[in-house]
Amino acid sequence: MIRIALLGAGLIGREHAALIQAHPGTGLAAICDPSPAGKALADTLGVPHFADYAKALDATRPDGAIIALPNRLHEPAALACIERGIACLVEKPVADTVAAGMRIAQASEARGVPVLVGHHRRHSPDIRAAKKSIAAGELGDLVAVNGMTLFDKPDAYFQAEWRRQPGGGPLLINLIHDIDALRHLIGEIESVRAFTSSATRGFVVEDTASIAIRFRNGVLGSFVISDAAVSPWAWEYCSGQALYHPAQPGPCLFIAGRKAALSVSDMYLWRHASQDEHWQHPLLREHRPGDGSRTYVNQLDHFIAVIRREVEPLISARDGLATLAATLAIETAAREDRTVTLDEMLGQAAERAVA
Contacting residues toward ligand NAD, per CB under 6 A: 7-13, 32-35, 38, 53, 68-71, 73, 91-92, 118, 120
Please identify, using beta-carbon distances, which residue of 65 and 262 lies nearer to ligand NAD: 65
Dist CA 19 CA 200 (whole Å): 37
Q: Which is nearer to ligand NAD, 14 or 193 (CB)?
A: 14
The answer to whether 226 touches 150, Cβ cutoff 8 Å, is yes
- Distance in Å, CB of 218 to ligand NAD, minimum: 31
Residues in the chain: 355
Nearer to ligand NAD among residue 38 and residue 290 (C-beta): 38
DSSP 27-53: EEEEEE--SHHHHHHHHHHT--EES-H
Toward ligand NAD, which CB reaches closer, 7 or 333? Answer: 7
State whether residue 4 is helix, strand or coil.
Answer: strand
> Judged by CB, which is closer to ligand NAD: 38, or 125?
38
* Nearer Cβ to ligand NAD (269/330): 330
CA 258 to CA 272: how far, in whole Å? 11
- Cβ contact 195:141 at 8 Å: no
CB of 279 to ligand NAD, least distance (A): 40
Q: C-beta of 238: minimal distance to ligand NAD in Å?
A: 16
The nearest distance, CB 50 to ligand NAD, in angstroms, is: 8
* Residue 147 three-state SS: strand
Shortest distance (Å) from residue 163 CB to ligand NAD = 12
Distance in Å, CB of 55 to ligand NAD, minimum:
10
Please, how many CA atoms are within 13 Å of residue 3, restricted to the half-sphere of its CB? Answer: 13
CB atoms within 10 A of CB 79: 18
Task: Identify any residues that bridge with 86 across adjacent strands, giving them in sequence order.
Answer: none
Residue 149 CA to residue 121 CA, distance in Å, equals: 14
